[in-house]
Structure 1
């Protein structure tokens, strides 16, 4: 039998320096491979740890195991991967198949045993080696749209099993028709100094199909470059991320980012490469092609920082090269002449805020029994925050910073003898979300990565339940307009019954074929509880 993967390790056995040789790249779907998402591209949850394979715009496409192995994990979650299967292969790799609509019949029966045992649709089950053996090309499930997915597709990953290290699946030889180079949407110059994210947009003009020339930069000091770019493949309109960013200074590589692999500890570091303030303003991801934080990661290939030092009378030629995995390239040529600095830059000035947060030390705030604890290295750099506790509202304000660590907050409870109170978070765009409910003594205590305003509120409204008319299934809409749904239970003829939950449509449902009841008339009770303990019950008698 042919092996799917053969890894030839270099002397230091680093996965970064290894070469993947593919004897037979067996895809998880038997349709032409088209991608709606690349490995490493920036998502709200961090770097994308796999590729998104299009499934003809529909659910129900057969998903097959790429190689023999055993199922090591099955997870069902309301967000993230939704319904997902993890298969560990004997060659040291694990393949992951996510956002499935359902599993095959054998897997469904086994996983339902655990769901009924735990009385929960959500489950995370690990299996022992060879407990659930899978052969190559076995149908393990069907494409879907579960979890944090907003259109039918397969999220597909390959991980190095021992380290649980995601590796770009395209390294294993999957054929993607791609002759289109990345597209550059904007070029920016960063002045490296006391002011964080001090930037200037640089004009560029096209000189050939995939080569651009920037305006001449006349200045001196330390600089970095940032780009807005994207990529797509042939016969696909999806806009995907860029695989490789490279800075060449006077014909020598100065800095390079390449998405072949990254660890899950590195997943959130996208916010250290991205200009977060620009994203808040424009909802566009501006990537800084320099390493101002001294990061040591799997995806940064350079020892240099990528920061360009320019002295007066210097003449420096810069090439910025953007590449996709098929080695299609877009190049921007930049000429820098060292002169007195007369350029005007934009930066977000929050120096009028009342608190200066030095990133290398812890910061504590205390006022009228309200407390805020910010651990060192919570932010990307030293920053200003506007922190205050006034009229029972705690404010932690700076719309242009991202918190990498949870901020510890304690707020005194003002409403007496109410179990329905909670802390609401009003973000910078005016959105109200549930922040915390846990009490210790007479205080609310919780952690959050969000900034904004925090205040005590009351949720006295029970969730809403409404029966829906659906073909071939029993379905209910469940909603909570205040804090959100904590749990739900469905009882059929007095016994707990498994109903699936799709939060995107606020729907719980059970297919009639899965009901397992012979009676023509059944009694159903739906019980829904919100995050502060309000409950709602709906009882119906249904004729099948």
Structure 2
């Protein structure tokens, strides 16, 4: 059954294109656009896991079913009362705000339609909704809930918005490319090049929401023969970064285009038909019919056809700006004098030519020049190992304050790092410019919803900040702890607004109390804030 009482309104589809990942479930909108809708168990089973996390899925709940599947309910504002009490007690017992708790079949059994929690906006969420997933129990394999009947009313066919038409030479070099709107495309198109490749920007809508969602499947025929096809049915979460090979990421600022050809490093399992990796020879100068069909989860389809013809071209001879070559199936190591780059096999989605550059670093916190790989911003499937040795002396007490910085325009962010044989080593998720940096500034706290007289108030909140953003996924960012009269208390962290919030406990007595909040950033810079308040 559906996990909500009201009519389903799907605002995010399975397999939808998202930054650096495919959407692994469906998003269901709240009835009134606000938090609080009751969330229901979709089938018989037991609650197997609870997670409280300021990132990712926020407050999430997992139900294991006898069918061999597990359903996931994410971004909840809170759990149902008995579960919420259990989570709160566990947080206090180990004095940790973010927790993961596993349960056995005998603890929280559920039947279809049982209340399990309330819709919210926790974690990486941008509005009140339920993120609902269907997984194969014991694995990270996700399936499309629509294939199990969880569908919104939908009689609207998907739409192709634009085509990106590319011509290549026989060596794979791009000769021509242009983006054409669906309404502007002609019945016959001349393509400069020996080989044709295409990408499409497409979306879907349903009858319950104005929002654009993703398509379910795509087929491309050439001269009436099926040439390239895929269907978003199932995959494993550890494969989701293959989106960077599936989409034409270089056109991401113009839109998200599905490639209708396959890069050699793309191992995503959704592809059904792939002839010649989706590249078609047009060097014969003949006309060829291209037919594209896209469909949504409800079976609605749209089709478009046109002919292409290859034309002669002059191959431009460009100076070799990129002397280094990276193969997607080989390790690549580079020593740049004051450090190294190490790129493991399977890290890139295609072979590429690069150049290693150094740039001066004028920051007062810098202990090396910027060292970069151009062209930058290339997404990586696995991390690039960056090791940088200091180019000037670092005082021993400040060694722990060092990290690898990633250049972002005129500023930079931290990708973390630790000392290893005289260098700071870190993992980078994108190609770019890196330097050895130092941070000695402690994080900062500002009272948001707090004053001396808190009598009758249900909660208090504060805003915390740091001078350098840490984008490392597995690092804590700012660590925080709070105490009232020396007793540790639970704080909820909203990463989107950098807000810490505490709901006053029933055991807090009337009178004057002392509040202590401690902060520590990734480079171990610490700060402490003390307040008195009356409750």
Q: State the TM-score, normalizing by the size of structure 1.
A: 0.87
Match of 2:10 among 22, 30, 35: 35
Report the counterpart of residue 527 of structure 2 in structure 1.
Answer: 536
**1:131: Cα distance to partner?**
3.3
Report the counterpart of residue 69 of structure 1 in structure 2.
Answer: 45
Structure 1 residues 39-50: aligned runs within 5 Å: 39-50=14-25
Report the counterpart of residue 293 of structure 2 in structure 1.
Answer: 321
Report the counterpart of residue 412 of structure 2 in structure 1.
Answer: 432
Over residues 80-134 of structure 1, what are the superposed CA-to-partner deviations in whole Å (9 max), with x where a residue is unaligned? Answer: 1111001001111111000111111111111223222332111122223333212
Secondary structure of the equivalent of 1:335? strand
- Specify whether residues 403 and 492 from structure 1 end up closer, same or farther in structure 2 by C-alpha distance, changes over 3 A only: same
Over residues 390-439 of structure 1, what are the superposed CA-to-partner deviations in whole Å (9 max), with x where a residue is unaligned? Answer: 65222223235211111111111332221453234334544521122411
Are 1:508 and 2:497 counterparts?
no
**1:332: Cα distance to partner?**
1.5
Secondary structure of the equivalent of 2:153? coil
Report the counterpart of residue 449 of structure 2 in structure 1.
Answer: 469
Are 1:416 and 2:385 counterparts?
no
Secondary structure of the equivalent of 1:70? strand
Are the equivalent residues in 1 in contact too, given 2:52–2:59 (CA < 8 A)? yes
Match of 2:376 among 393, 399, 418: 399
Over residues 21-73 of structure 1, what are the superposed CA-to-partner deviations in whole Å (9 max), with x where a residue is unaligned? Answer: xxxxx111111111111100111131110001011321111111111111111
- Specify whether residues 333 and 31 from structure 1 end up closer, same or farther in structure 2 by C-alpha distance, changes over 3 A only: same
- Specify whether residues 350 and 332 from structure 1 end up closer, same or farther in structure 2 by C-alpha distance, changes over 3 A only: farther
**1:360: Cα distance to partner?**
3.0
Separation of aligned partners in 2, 1:424 and 1:354:
25
Are the equivalent residues in 1 in contact too, given 2:92–2:489 (CA < 8 A)? yes
Separation of aligned partners in 2, 1:228 and 1:53:
23
Match of 1:194 among 155, 171, 178: 171
Are 1:526 and 2:517 counterparts?
yes
Structure 1 residues 240-279: aligned runs within 5 Å: 240-279=213-252
Match of 1:455 among 411, 425, 435: 435
Report the counterpart of residue 336 of structure 2 in structure 1.
Answer: 367
Are the equivalent residues in 2 in contact too, given 1:249–1:317 (CA < 8 A)? yes
Separation of aligned partners in 2, 1:398 and 1:275:
16
Are the equivalent residues in 2 in contact too, given 1:427–1:450 (CA < 8 A)? no
Report the counterpart of residue 309 of structure 1 in structure 2.
Answer: 281
- Specify whether residues 369 and 295 from structure 1 end up closer, same or farther in structure 2 by C-alpha distance, changes over 3 A only: closer
The worse-fitting range, judged by mean Cα deviation, of 258-267 and 449-458 is 449-458
The worse-fitting range, judged by mean Cα deviation, of 219-228 and 167-176 is 219-228
Report the counterpart of residue 491 of structure 2 in structure 1.
Answer: 499
Separation of aligned partners in 1, 2:177 and 2:262:
18
Report the counterpart of residue 365 of structure 2 in structure 1.
Answer: none
Are 1:239 and 2:218 counterparts?
no
Report the counterpart of residue 133 of structure 1 in structure 2.
Answer: 109
Match of 1:482 among 457, 468, 477: 468
Match of 1:286 among 230, 246, 257: 257
Are the equivalent residues in 1 in contact too, given 2:405–2:436 (CA < 8 A)? no
Over residues 138-196 of structure 1, what are the superposed CA-to-partner deviations in whole Å (9 max), with x where a residue is unaligned? Answer: 11111111111111111001112244321111111124122222222211223344345
Secondary structure of the equivalent of 1:284? coil
Secondary structure of the equivalent of 1:268? helix
Secondary structure of the equivalent of 2:84? helix
Over residues 324-344 of structure 1, what are the superposed CA-to-partner deviations in whole Å (9 max), with x where a residue is unaligned? Answer: 11222222112134x543499
Separation of aligned partners in 2, 1:142 and 1:330:
37
> Once superposed, what is the RMSD of the aligned Cα atoms?
2.6
Secondary structure of the equivalent of 1:404? strand
Structure 1 residues 148-163: aligned runs within 5 Å: 148-163=124-139
Are the equivalent residues in 2 in contact too, given 1:350–1:384 (CA < 8 A)? no
Over residues 422-473 of structure 1, what are the superposed CA-to-partner deviations in whole Å (9 max), with x where a residue is unaligned? Answer: 2343345445211224112432111111322222223222111122226520
Report the counterpart of residue 271 of structure 2 in structure 1.
Answer: 300
Secondary structure of the equivalent of 1:466? strand
Report the counterpart of residue 17 of structure 1 in structure 2.
Answer: none
Separation of aligned partners in 1, 2:174 and 2:411:
26
Over residues 297-349 of structure 1, what are the superposed CA-to-partner deviations in whole Å (9 max), with x where a residue is unaligned? Answer: 43112253332233525342221112111222222112134x5434999x9x8
Over residues 186-213 of structure 1, what are the superposed CA-to-partner deviations in whole Å (9 max), with x where a residue is unaligned? Answer: 1122334434565522646649xxxx75
Match of 1:217 among 176, 187, 190: 190
- Specify whether residues 241 and 126 from structure 1 end up closer, same or farther in structure 2 by C-alpha distance, changes over 3 A only: same
Structure 1 residues 103-118: aligned runs within 5 Å: 103-118=79-94
Match of 1:95 among 71, 76, 91: 71
Q: State the TM-score, normalizing by the size of structure 2.
A: 0.88
Are 1:51 and 2:26 counterparts?
yes
Are 1:341 and 2:312 counterparts?
yes
- Specify whether residues 129 and 397 from structure 1 end up closer, same or farther in structure 2 by C-alpha distance, changes over 3 A only: farther
Separation of aligned partners in 2, 1:204 and 1:45:
25
Report the counterpart of residue 16 of structure 1 in structure 2.
Answer: none
Separation of aligned partners in 2, 1:103 and 1:411:
46
